[in-house]
Amino acid sequence: MDPLHLAYAAIGALSVVLALFSSRLRELPVSEPLMALLLGVLLGPHLLGLLEFSTTERDSLLLEGARVLLAASVMAAALRFPATSLRGLIAPAALLLGVVMPLAAVLSGAAALLLGLPVALAALVGACLCPTDPVLAASVVTGKPAEEHLPGRLRRMLTVESGANDGLALPLVGLALAVVLPATAPGAEVGRLAWEVAAGAVIGVVAGAAAGRAMEAATDRRKLGKGASLVFTLLLAVAVLGLARIAGASGVLAVFASGLAYNRVVRTGERGPQDNIDEAINRYLSLPLFVLLGAVLPWREWIGFGPVALLFVVAVLLLRRPPLILALFRPLGLRPRDAAFLGWFGPMGISALFYLAHSIDKGVHDPRLFAAVSLAVTASVLVHGITSSPAVRVYARSSEASERG
Per-residue pLDDT reduced to its tens digit, 265-284:
886 555 554 555 656 666 67
Across the range 292-314, mean pLDDT stands at 95
Query: What confidence category does residue 88 fall into, taking pLDDT thresholds of 50, 70 and 90?
Result: confident
For residue 85, being part of any structural domain is answered with: yes
CA–CA dist 98, 83 (Å, integer)? 22
Residue-by-residue DSSP string for 297-365? --HHHHHHHTTHHHHHHHHHHHHSSHHHHHHTTTTTT--HHHHHHHHH----SHHHHHHHHHHHHTT--
In a domain, 321, yes or no: yes
> Burial of 44 by CB count in 10 Å (0-12 exposed, 13-18 middle, 19+ buried)?
buried
Per the CB < 8 A criterion, the answer to whether 288 and 66 are in contact is no
Read off the pLDDT of each residue in 4-17 and give the average, rounded to a whole number. Answer: 71
- 148 located within any domain: yes
CATH of residue 133: 1.20.1530.20
Q: How many Cα atoms are found within 13 Å in the side-chain-facing hemisphere of 373?
A: 32
Q: pLDDT tens across 322-376, in order?
A: 999 999 999 999 999 899 999 998 899 999 999 999 999 999 999 999 999 999 9
Mean pLDDT of all residues in 5-31: 67
**Structural domain boundaries enclosing 125:** 3-12+32-182+282-404
More confident residue, 276 or 297: 297
Q: How far apart are CA 338 and CA 340, in angstroms?
A: 5
- Per-residue model confidence (pLDDT) at position 187: 65
User: Half-sphere exposure (CA, 13 Å, Cβ side) for 359?
Assistant: 37
Residue 405 has pLDDT above 60, yes or no: no
More confident residue, 186 or 94: 94
pTM, entire model: 0.90
**Within 13 Å and on the Cβ side, how many CA atoms surround 187?**
0
How many domains in the chain? 1
pLDDT for the residue numbered 282: 64
Q: Residue 112 in contact with residue 312, Cβ under 8 Å?
A: yes
Mean pLDDT throughout 28-42? 82
Return the percentage of the chain with pLDDT > 90, whole number.
45
CA 52 from chain centre, in angstroms, equals 25
Q: Residue 180: CB partners within 8 Å, gap ≥ 6?
A: 120, 121, 123, 124, 359, 364
Average pLDDT, the chain: 85
Distance CA 14, CA 249 (A): 36
Half-sphere exposure of 383 (CA within 13 A, CB side): 17
Q: Where is pLDDT greater, at 66 or 35?
A: 66
Instruction: Spell out the alpha helix ranges (H) of 130-225.
Output: 134-141, 144-149, 152-168, 170-180, 186-220
Average pLDDT on 115-129 reads: 97
The answer to whether residue 189 sits within a structural domain is no
User: How many C-beta atoms surround the C-beta of residue 186 within 10 A?
Assistant: 10
Dihedral, CA of residue 51, residue 22, residue 72 and residue 234, to nearest 10: 120
| Any domain includes 229 | no
Q: Which residues have CB under 8 Å from 291's CB, separation 6+? A: 7, 10, 11, 14, 36, 37, 39, 40, 43, 51
pLDDT of residue 372: 98
Q: Concatenate the DSSP letters of all residues of 134-159 into one string.
A: HHHHHHHHSSHHHHHHS-HHHHHHHH
Is residue 134 domain-resident?
Answer: yes
Q: Are the CB atoms for 312 and 114 separated by under 8 Å? A: yes
Q: What proportions of the chain, in percent to the nearest 5, are helix, strand and coil?
A: 80, 0, 20
SS3 223: coil
Q: Per residue in 171-206, pLDDT tens?
A: 999 999 988 987 666 666 788 888 999 999 999 999
Between 131 and 10, name the one with better pLDDT: 131
Contact 13, 36 (CB under 8 A): no
Widest CA span in the chain:
65
Residue with the bigger pLDDT between 113 and 24: it is 113
Q: Which residues contact 263 (CB under 8 A, 6 or more apart)?
A: 78, 79, 82, 83, 208, 212, 271
pLDDT tens figures, 217-264? 877 666 665 556 667 888 899 999 999 999 999 999 999 999 989 988
pLDDT at 183: 66
pLDDT, greater one: 77 or 228 = 77
